[in-house]
């Protein structure tokens, strides 16, 4: 299982939001590059970069930072504000190895399926942030304030049929909460989508959580707050 540290950028700083709420922000490092280099020096091979300003505005805003982060030696996957093919190309040009597509993947799956075919399945990550409503796993968009008709199951299977290779799934209720990952959700996705590499996100606290996720069949785990607040070191995570 790949361990992928995450850096969420807002106003040039490293921050974390609780359950995606911009009013529940915790600020960390002033220098994202120094943090990224520390992750690289510790042995991370991939870095997950979230452009929170871009996500809010609707256009990628961190291309200059991305160019610097890509020079750390890690491969970078990044998303936030991707709304068209020009955005995808610009992020690749800035050094991204993979582009993460979230809201648009729910709103316009045909467009994103075309990108998977055009750029290659290794270069596009579909991010489906999900919340259980008591009946099904729904897919809120627009800062998790709007819920469309499609369910996680329906859309994930549709993307798998279209050749998707990388699916990033975040349990919204656990995002930034250090409440433990949703292992049942990860296991279900891994079983339902055998051709897709599932990236689990949300809630990881410690090494035991990572060991549990590995047993679900998830092929990557995204680590944010647990690394930033010292509950888990990257060396400990990689040792799992």
Please list the active-site residues.
8, 129
Among residues 2, 69, 16, 25, the alpha carbon closest in space to that of 227 is found at 16
Q: Report how far residue 99's alpha carbon sits from residue 88's, in angstroms, rounded to the nearest whole number.
A: 7
- Residue 3: CB atoms within 10 A of its CB come to 24
For residue 94 the two structure tokens come to: 């800035």
Among residues 127, 145, 95, 101, the alpha carbon closest in space to that of 222 is found at 127
Locus of tokens 């930034």? 176
For residue 134 the two structure tokens come to: 């008591």
Buried-state track 63-101, b at ≥16 Cβ within 10 A, e below 16? bebbeebbebebebbbbbbbbeeebbebbeebbbbbbbb
Query: In the 8-state DSSP scheme, what is residue 172?
Result: G
Q: For residues 81 and 61, is the Cβ–Cβ distance under 8 A?
A: yes
Q: Report how far residue 9's alpha carbon sits from residue 11's, in angstroms, rounded to the nearest whole number.
A: 7
Q: Which residues pair with 151 in a beta bridge?
A: 138
């Amino acid at each position: 299982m790949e361990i992928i540290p995450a850096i969420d950028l807002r106003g040039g700083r490293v921050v974390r939001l609780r359950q995606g709420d911009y009013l529940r922000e915790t600020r960390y490092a002033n220098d994202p590059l120094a943090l990224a280099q520390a992750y690289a020096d510790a042995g991370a091979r991939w870095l997950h970069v979230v452009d929170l300003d871009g996500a809010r505005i609707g256009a990628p805003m961190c291309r200059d930072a991305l160019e610097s982060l890509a020079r750390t030696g890690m491969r970078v996957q990044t998303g936030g504000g991707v709304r068209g093919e020009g955005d995808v190309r610009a992020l690749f040009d800035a050094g991204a190895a993979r582009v993460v597509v979230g809201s648009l993947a729910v709103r316009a799956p045909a467009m994103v399926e075309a990108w998977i075919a055009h750029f290659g399945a290794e270069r596009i990550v579909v991010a489906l942030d999900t919340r259980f409503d008591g009946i099904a796993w729904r897919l809120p968009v627009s800062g998790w304030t709007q819920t469309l008709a499609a369910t996680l199951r329906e859309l994930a299977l549709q993307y798998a049929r279209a050749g998707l290779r990388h699916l990033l799934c975040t349990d919204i209720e656990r995002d930034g909460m250090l409440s433990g990952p949703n292992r049942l959700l990860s296991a279900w996705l891994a079983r339902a989508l055998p051709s897709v590499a599932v990236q689990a996100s949300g809630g990881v606290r410690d090494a035991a959580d990572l060991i549990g996720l590995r047993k679900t069949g998830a092929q990557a785990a995204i680590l944010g707050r647990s690394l930033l607040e010292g509950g888990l070191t990257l060396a400990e995570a990689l040792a799992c």
